[in-house]
Copies of this chain bind each other. A is one copy, B any other.
Amino acid sequence: MNVPAAEVTEHANRRAGGRLGRKALRGTPIASFPTLVRKIPVYQMVPDEAVELIHQESLSILEEVGCEFRDDEAIAMWKAAGADVSDTRVRIDRALLMELVSKVPSEFTLNARNPQRSVRVGGDNSIFVPMYGAPYVRDLDNVRRYGTLADLQNFHKLAYMAPALHSSSSIICEPMEIPVPKRHLHIIHSALKHSDKPFMGIVTSRDRAEDTMAMAGIVFGEDYVRDNPVLVAITNCNSPLVWDATMLDAMKVYARHNQPLILAPFALCGASTSASAVGAVAQVNAEALAGVAFTQLLRPGSPQIYGQFMVTVDMKTGAPMGGTPEAAQMMYLMGALARKYRLPWRTSGFHVGSKLNDAQAGYEANMLMHAAILAGANYIWHSAGWLEAGLTCGYSKFATDCEQLVGWYKYAGGLPFDDFKEAMAAIREVGPQGHFLGTQHTLEHFESAFFMPSIMDFNSYEQWKAEGAKDHDTRGREKARNMLADYEEPKLDEGIADGLEDLIALREEKLPDSVS
């Protein structure tokens, strides 16, 4: 990994016809919703004083216990900033912490290669982002197996086609057949090629992060991506209270490019936090704030996303759970803290522990999505495909989630009152014991009034039986298959497409086939 990314980019840019800039892309127009602007109030589960109490406890943890930053450069930067540093332990006083956190913009634009797919993150805006990181897929034949590049491409295609998804994520599943050192190139390539929505960066090493930026530079322009957010990258704090070298390396690359990171502790509540929902939130908040603050040492004013991944663990087996009541409750607390700090906030929507797209998955998924929406989450991740605590991405689950998101998009858009007068006139017209199917109001509104999912089946039992008595999981797989059959690629300009391929070829020449 010794080829500087900049050199490769330069070569690729030349081949693609000079500085490429950001271009509107050709390709088939496909329905895609703009940023969801929430029109419903947020729900706060506890009073402001309780939020303040948690906040103060979080700051005390960072002052008294501190947080590990396992990287020399990071430690030097914290020292220079005036933190109390001892070896890799950084104790941050509350004034310094909050001063740094306050530099983060409360909203920003996340740019897509198709400007019509660019979205706003923060404030009243919410976006839905598919899952990330599954080594396994549950495939179109309902077999659980390792993910492949073909699977990943399929999920990027589905993400492109799902109107309520605002991002293509990146590693929706791992293309396990590609050697690890080269894998990131093909992941980013697939996301950029098969969809025109925002995507997510690679964080597993500094070089891979730089390769991501190089590829983004080919698509958006090298200058453009020095300052304009075109991707989001996830960095997880290792709870309790450790930011490790790999994460810090990724932060350096992305934050210095003004690319937003998600600063999200990965907390198995009860194991890597105390067995207290409120205690877990206080700890995770401290961890997230420490990460957010560090990004502002790297690039003050850079857009960042405060976040959390918090699941409770089964205290008998240690297994992570998914859509449990406490996970929802903790979301409301995190959302309240994010609002207090005026930070864009990421949580997870449809993440579940279920192995299958079955009843468990459904109960878990909507336990959490309802909370994510009402808590006012901005970056609602893991909103499609997630099964088995993230180990598996399911085609059926992906299609199901995409459809459900359309309903949630409508839900968060609020209750329309604009046709209320006409609706009341319809009641006067119909009177007792009539029906409304023929009224003018109904004829004008029947398509838009109510969400009508297609994978869910509301037909009569007899009709459903005549159609094969299929369960939801089966119908979800059929839907995914049908969507893929209809896919048309939103093609990259030829020069850009060639530039990306050249860069990959150049990088692959230098990269080993296995991790040494």
Min Cβ gap A360→B in Å is: 4
A357 touches B355 (CB 8 A): no
| Residue A245 at the chain B interface, CB threshold 8 Å | no
Max chain B CB contacts within 10 Å: which of A41, A354, A456? A456
Residues of B close to A80: CB separation below 8 A: none
Residues of B close to A272: CB separation below 8 A: 435-436
**Across the two chains, which residue of chain B brings its CB closest to A282?**
B424
- Whole-angstrom distance between the alpha carbons of A361 and B364 in the complex? 11
**Across the two chains, which residue of chain B brings its CB closest to A276?**
B423
| Residue A277 at the chain B interface, CB threshold 8 Å | yes
A314 touches B458 (CB 8 A): yes
Tell me how many chains of this kind the complex includes: 2
B388 touches A431 (CB 8 A): no
Min Cβ gap A278→B in Å is: 5
Interface size class of chain A, counting residues whose CB lies under 8 Å from the partner chain: 35 or more
| Residue A339 at the chain B interface, CB threshold 8 Å | no
- Whole-angstrom distance between the alpha carbons of A205 and B51 in the complex? 54
| A355: contacting residue among B45, B68, B365, B461, CB under 8 A | B461
A353 touches B46 (CB 8 A): no
- Whole-angstrom distance between the alpha carbons of A432 and B91 in the complex? 12
Could you tell me which residues of chain A, from 164 to 182, have a CB within 8 Å of some CB in chain B? none
A432 touches B65 (CB 8 A): yes
Could you tell me which residues of chain A, from 258 to 294, have a CB within 8 Å of some CB in chain B? 269-280, 282-283
**Across the two chains, which residue of chain B brings its CB closest to A144?**
B461
Chain A window 405-432, contacts with chain B (Cβ cutoff 8 Å), 1 for yes, 0 for no: 0011011001111011011101110111
Task: Check A471/B356 contact, CB under 8 A, given A275-B442, A458-B314.
Answer: yes
B400 touches A277 (CB 8 A): no
- Whole-angstrom distance between the alpha carbons of A450 and B319 in the complex? 13
Min Cβ gap A359→B in Å is: 4
Residues of B close to A283: CB separation below 8 A: 427
| A458: contacting residue among B43, B64, B321, B458, CB under 8 A | B321
Task: Check A411/B329 contact, CB under 8 A, given A57-B424, A67-B432, A274-B442.
Answer: yes
| A242: contacting residue among B433, B441, B476, CB under 8 A | B433
Min Cβ gap A321→B in Å is: 5
A-B residue pairs in contact (CB < 8 Å), sample of 21: A43-B43, A50-B417, A53-B420, A89-B432, A240-B427, A241-B431, A270-B437, A270-B442, A275-B442, A276-B420, A276-B445, A277-B415, A279-B423, A282-B423, A312-B449, A319-B460, A353-B458, A358-B472, A359-B359, A388-B461, A391-B461
Top 7 closest pairs, chain A to chain B, by CB = A362-B362, A279-B423, A325-B411, A276-B423, A366-B366, A241-B432, A275-B449
